[in-house]
A = this chain, B = another copy of it.
């Protein structure tokens, strides 16, 4: 980081501490969060990044009078070390399964009678309870009614004002009216006449609306309050075009100003029953609920509903995957030609981002990338969530591995894929790592399991072949993926860090990533990622069994493989996958891209 930025960062921290002192706050906490508990945040809510300089998508900032730190997990350690270097801000490493570590730190390092502050408007209700319990047990006070950033952050970005648009048939395959009816049926099961939703993907799903308020996630800032007969969408004025507004009205959906959501909760009638999800609304929203209201806590019905893609949605996803795969054939054939010819201009990681997005943009129904492309060359590949920037990025030259993790938002689905290609001649050690990662991918891809299996319990199946070599990776094996929605969605997660609670159960129609990896800091990083669809593949006296249909269609480079490490059944899996990729993509690619497809899908 530059000296100039270092001075800015020091000054911000000093200003924050002055504000803390004035307000009588001993520790100030800034989570990576917004009023919708989003993963990707509008600039307005990137307070942790503004204060610390750490740009990773997950991390909690805490400052006291004589300490400042950012807590983050293994995916971000290398990045955070770089970004925090030169500052007084400590990197606090969260190992796999201990996401409450910063809470423990507060409880251990503050004294009874001191005060912790965090803004209730961006603090999840479930997290707020853990924090409150831990602090009150030590006699530490918690204030959630104060936003110190308001005082110190002068040039804070405004809330985004992008327009909202409808997700229409044939891509939206279930009507808004039907989704509202299904949600109300679930509300009835809880005896609830009202249901408040703050999570942006739940809202986008339920109303068949999309937006562009957040990078990569096609969502818009809103809260929703569903009643038995009508519903209110709290959204920035002017964002919803008149014709969409009219269509919403005809489905009994009224618009109200974005800022009025909390007020509406405080105006609910005495004796009403309100359903809310403590992990998906903020402490601030919960506090707004009128006293006489009976609150029922349960996971949002839409969170389950949107995770289980309809057959009609799966048809669209398969078509989107074909277009995505075709775009990748064009991109990779171009990239390899550039590398083989000795690129005219030096080819760097940023150029890869540009070209891969351009290839996708030539395909029908493409909207945007689904996340920031990760193109990591050699040691940059070991930075798990590396994002190439013009000033720091590596030039692709010499013998190495190039990791490319990218994805697209299409009207008919969301993609997310990681491939690694060799540049020059990979070493034997690189080939071994690459082959082990592929074994992990195959081992889980080929697994069948009882319907209802808790998704975290499947994690070890992908790791086992990698563990066998004394290697592990510091992230989960897979995350849920939305349907033209967030590239990370729940409720299923294939990760040892997630408690295998009932809501993590695997159900038909879910789309999940499988993405094992091996990262050797300072040397290279390897990850291979496909998206898979849960399908019922067997029905026996022991119940229904699910298997994975691999949705992602793109060759897995066979050149860095050490074939001697593969079993016959693994080779058969890979060859069958490549036969499918070739059959599905060949009709929609041409020229050099087609030649590349044929070559890269040869059986081994």
Binds B, one of A38-46, A359-367, A460-468: A460-468
Residues of chain B contacted by A453 (CB below 8 angstroms): 460, 496
Interface bits A137-158 vs B (CB < 8 Å: 1, else 0): 0000000000000000000000
**Contact across chains for A461 and B459 when beta carbons are under 8 A apart:** no
If the complex has contacts A456-B457, A457-B459, A496-B457, are A472 and B542 also in contact, measured as CB distance less than 8 A?
yes
Contact of A567 among B457, B461, B500, B567 (CB under 8 A): B567
The residue among A461, A463, A500, A542 with the most chain B CB atoms within 10 A of its own CB is A542
Q: Is A464's CB under 8 angstroms from B447's CB? A: yes
A371: interface (CB < 8 Å): no
A467 touches B448 (CB 8 A): yes
Contact B499 A499 (CB under 8 A): yes
Which single residue of chain B is at the shortest CB-CB distance from A540? B470
Are A457 and B454 within 8 A (Cβ)?
Answer: no
0/1 interface trace, chain A 559-570, chain B, CB 8 Å (1 if under): 000000001010
Contacts of A464 in B (CB 8 A): 447, 449, 461
A458 at the interface (CB under 8 A from B): yes
Q: Does A545 contact B (CB under 8 A)?
A: yes
Q: How far is the CB of A86 from chain B (nearest CB, A)?
A: 27
Q: A460-B449, A460-B460 are in contact. Are A542 and B468 (CB under 8 A)?
A: no
A543, B472: Cβ atoms under 8 Å?
Answer: yes
Residues of B within 8 A of A541 (CB): 520
Contacts of A186 in B (CB 8 A): none
* Other-chain residue from B97, B448, B454, B460 in contact with A470 (beta carbon distance below 8 A): B448
Is A471 interfacial (CB 8 A cutoff)? Answer: yes
State A520–B539 Cα separation when bound (angstroms).
Answer: 15
CB-defined contacts of A542 to chain B, threshold 8 Å = 470-472
Question: Do residues B468 and A447 form an inter-chain contact, with CB atoms below 8 A?
Answer: yes
Interface core residue of A457, A502, A520 (most chain B CB under 10 Å): A457
Whether, in the assembled complex, A538 has its beta carbon less than 8 Å from a beta carbon of chain B, the answer is yes
Write the nearest CB–CB distance from A383 to chain B, whole angstroms.
16
Q: Which of A433-476 touch B at CB < 8 Å?
A: 447-450, 453-454, 456-461, 463-464, 467-468, 470-472
A526-559 contact mask (Cβ, 8 Å, vs B): 1 or 0: 0000000000001111110100000000000000
Query: Contact partner of A540 among B471, B499, B539, CB < 8 A?
Result: B471
Residue of B nearest to A519 (CB): B542
Taken together as a complex, chains A and B put the C-alpha atoms of A463 and B453 apart, in Å, by: 11
Chain A positions within 8 Å of B, measured between CB atoms, are: 97, 447-450, 453-454, 456-461, 463-464, 467-468, 470-472, 496, 499-500, 502, 520, 538-543, 545, 567, 569
Q: A450-B467, A461-B461, A470-B542 are in contact. List 18 more A-B contacts (CB 8 A).
A: A97-B502, A447-B468, A448-B468, A448-B470, A449-B460, A449-B463, A449-B464, A450-B472, A453-B460, A453-B496, A456-B457, A457-B459, A457-B496, A460-B461, A470-B538, A472-B542, A472-B543, A500-B500
Top 6 A-B pairs ranked by shortest CB distance?
A: A470-B540, A470-B538, A470-B545, A457-B460, A449-B467, A472-B542
